[in-house]
Amino acid sequence: MTFLNLIGSMATSVTENTLPFLALITVLVFVHEMGHFLVARYNGVRIEVFSIGFGPELWGRTDRRGTRWKVSMVPLGGYVKMFGEGDMVTGVDDAEDRPMTPEERAVSFHHKRLAQRAAIVFAGPLANFVFAIVVMTGLFAAVGTPKPLSGVGQIQPDSAAAAAGFKTGDTIVAIDGQAIRWFDDLRNIVSRNPGKSLRFDIVRNNRDITLDATPARHVLEASQKGVAPRVIGLLGVSPDPAQVIYQRMGIVQAVEHGVGRTYAMTAGIMDALGQMIRGTRNANELGGPISIAIVSADVAQTGLINMMMLAAAFSVNLGLLNLFPVPMLDGGHLVFYAFEALRGRPLSQRTQEYGFRFGLVLVFLLMIFATWNDFVRLFARFGGL
């Protein structure tokens, strides 16, 4: 493939993936900023602008309270502009360069109590977590959770299943005479029998056949010190996506699963980041906006339900990312507020400015690194040069 053809293919791919990506980002940014907006308005802060996107305004309207709601040209984020948010120390209105009146101080973000300011800042990430819980709760209650049957989907090369002669489309009905229906039954029996020969009763093309397979031994490293590694058996098959039953949940159970799934996603992200910091996981796995766009487009083709689950997962990512203690992010503001609570007064304006500059550089470098990883994946996806 020539360089020009490669670039053309990459450009086409990015263009085709743009719409689902923008739709996803718009929803998640709206949720995040709405969290800030609602808590700010509840605490009496005047909201001047609620914008989806950055740059020149494409559409807008002003409500009765003076808030300008608008959609801007660059749809890669958004913001809520609160009165009194720009000046962090002097209490001077930036726009008119004069001291605030008592009426203005009453609706100024900067002049709210520390707890109120912290609540307003924290509300954005919190809204993302709540959104994820609500979406997954609704899906679990209305659609259900996918429970795969014991059909065989993909088979890993050089696996125990490949060596035994398993084929895609096989349905496993029994293992060593024990009837099974669900893929979880298959997984549990196989994992308990590493290195032991098992007899599988299979239905293939409406014919009953029997295969013998010995699950490979796989060592699970201990997650805590002092705990011995565990050995499990692996067959090397994945469930058949065409053989799935959705089981609906009651509302209480759906909420429990929604909260549990959100917690599991959060813990998984933190664990992955910890592995990258410790050097036990490749930082090249970090993806940027292009990767998100490609994943969004791929998932959008599989249906609305999967797209909603992806939105919930990305919402957790966005909420957690904004809580990182980096100036420029919500977590950085919360760190400043923590120092203010300990010292009894805010950090100096110069200290905050240096912090924000450091945060801006850090976020910018991280975006460059993630985008570079995206382009490397694109080159690999289209066969390189």
CA distances from 304 to 4, 250, 291, 308, 311 (A): 35, 22, 20, 6, 10
Angle at 293 between CA 292 and CA 299, to 5 degrees: 85
The DSSP letter of residue 168 is: T
- Residue 177, classified by CB atoms within 10 Å of its CB into exposed (0-12), middle (13-18) or buried (19+), is exposed
Q: Which of 16, 33, 85, 103 is catalytic?
A: 33
- Cβ 60 vs Cβ 70: under 8 Å: yes
Q: Is 353 one of the catalytic residues?
A: no
User: Strands (DSSP E) along the chain, which ranges?
Assistant: 47-62, 68-82, 92-93, 98-99, 145-148, 152-155, 171-175, 178-179, 198-204, 207-213, 216-220, 230-234, 237-239, 244-247
- Cβ 189 vs Cβ 198: under 8 Å: yes
Separation of alpha carbons 197 and 163, rounded Å: 12
- Cβ 160 vs Cβ 175: under 8 Å: no
What positions carry a catalytic annotation? 33
